Amino acid sequence: MNEIESLKKRIVDLTSLIEVSSIISSTLDLEELMNLVMEKAQTVMNAEASSVMLINEETGMLECQIALGSVQEKVKDTIQLELGQGIAGWVAQQGKAVIVPDVDNDTRFYSNIDHSTGFKTRSILAAPLKVKDRVIGVAEVINRRDSQPFSEDDLAIFITFCRQVALAIENARMHRFMLDQQRIQQQLESAHTIQQSFMPQSFPQAKDDNFLLHARNIPATAVGGDLFDFIEIDSNRLGMVIGDVSGKGIPAALYMARLISDLRYYSHIHERPMDLIRMMNSVLFERGRQGMFVTLIYFLLDRQSGELKITNGGHLPPLWFQHATKTCHVVNSSSGIPLGILPQIELSEQVIQLRSGDQLLLYTDGIIEAKNVRGKMFSLERLEDIFNQDWDHPQHLIEGIVKQIKKFSRNVSQHDDITLMAIKWQ
């Protein structure tokens, strides 16, 4: 090749590299990107075929992503190499580009692909696809059309091609990852909206203004496993429930949603709290999956008298503020074990009588186990100190507790769902 021809080739190569840069800027679709770039590389290298293989991070295998040439579909479905296997496997393992003028004289050549496709490989030019010295795959061009071996000049331009290809692949992957994350976030936001719709959006009102109710749920993630509900049994009886499903995220949210549906159904069949909780345990145990369970406490309120019947299924005991004595204490109902673990459980039913000014507070462990920057927990004692005041309305009480928890655990991510329910007897 004389000097003028050499100069012309360099101009063509430079133009090709500029065109590749333009291609890379034109799309973020990974498969389309690799197809366009390798078509260009195959043309510039005057090759019969080309391929891109990427390392599967889970299996560690080289897998063919793009194959261009006469047997491209067969090749794409066939190529899967271990690191070190074949020319491409060697390049991936060593991180070095290579020219193989005659594959028949190279012991690294893996001939099974030719045998399975009917293609005849004579020579190969292969280079690693690297991102910050990390090999993510290998690109190859195969068989110059003029039957000449690939040259060092070919190798130099192909290595430059591959640098751009590797960066483009990583950018496309990052773009795809970001799109996936956005889609997941949108799904979680939809799941959050759906989950919140299972819990009351308004609170029952007393016809004679003899009680006030309020509740709040703050999930640690978009969706969670805490729950609360109010169930109108009849004109004189109101069911109230608060619970905490094991775990967090989508599985806990699905478990919680079905649990609320079951509670609303069975509460009209088993009106006595102890019978209802026993029934719920049986249902949850029968369909138990992956060790999930729930702590649950159920109250049945007589709207006229203020009598509360309580059955506790492994949940934290409620706090009772008695207005007459200005004291707060734990309702010592037998809590038993969470529901869904054993087919049969021991349960009890406790009855308490609310008097004028009395308040009852129900909560999940996300309250008392909230931590500050030193790793210290909020604690039941702090909750009692806040509750042990003559709050005028349950809403103000709950807002006050949430405010104190946020102040206590500022600069620390919420690690568990927070749910509160309060009732004040007028």
| Tens-digit pLDDT profile for residues 283-317 | 999 887 667 899 999 999 999 999 999 999 999 99
**Weakest mean pLDDT among 53-57, 174-178, 232-236, 355-359:** 174-178
Q: Which residue has the higher pLDDT, 133 or 208?
A: 133
Measured distance CA(103)–CA(123) in Å, rounded: 6
Measured distance CA(20)–CA(157) in Å, rounded: 12
Look at residue 284 in the predicted model and tell me its pLDDT: 92
| pLDDT for residue 363 is more than 70 | yes
| C-beta separation of 378 from 408 below 8 A | yes
Q: Domain segments of the chain: what residues? A: 3-169, 196-425
| CA proximity to 219, closest of 14, 17, 415, 15 | 415
Look at residue 358 in the predicted model and tell me its pLDDT: 95
pLDDT average, residue stretch 262-283: 94
| C-beta separation of 357 from 411 below 8 A | no
Measured distance CA(419)–CA(228) in Å, rounded: 8
Percent of the chain with pLDDT over 90: 49
Pick the CATH number of 196-425 from 3.90.550.10, 3.60.40.10, 3.40.50.2000, 3.30.300.30: 3.60.40.10
Measured distance CA(213)–CA(394) in Å, rounded: 6
| C-beta separation of 80 from 64 below 8 A | yes
Instruction: Return the CATH superfamily for domain 3-169.
Output: GAF domain (3.30.450.40)
Measured distance CA(376)–CA(369) in Å, rounded: 9
Query: What's the pTM value of the predicted model, to 2 decimals?
Result: 0.63
Q: What does the mean pLDDT of the chain come to?
A: 85
| Tens-digit pLDDT profile for residues 106-158 | 999 988 878 877 888 999 999 999 988 899 999 999 999 988 888 888 888 88
Q: Containing H/E element for 388? A: none
Q: Which residue has the higher pLDDT, 190 or 201?
A: 201
| pLDDT for residue 7 is more than 90 | no
Look at residue 333 in the predicted model and tell me its pLDDT: 63
Measured distance CA(324)–CA(357) in Å, rounded: 8
Q: Which residue has the tokens 């690191």?
A: 83
Measured distance CA(369)–CA(379) in Å, rounded: 6
Question: How does DSSP classify residue 392?
Answer: S
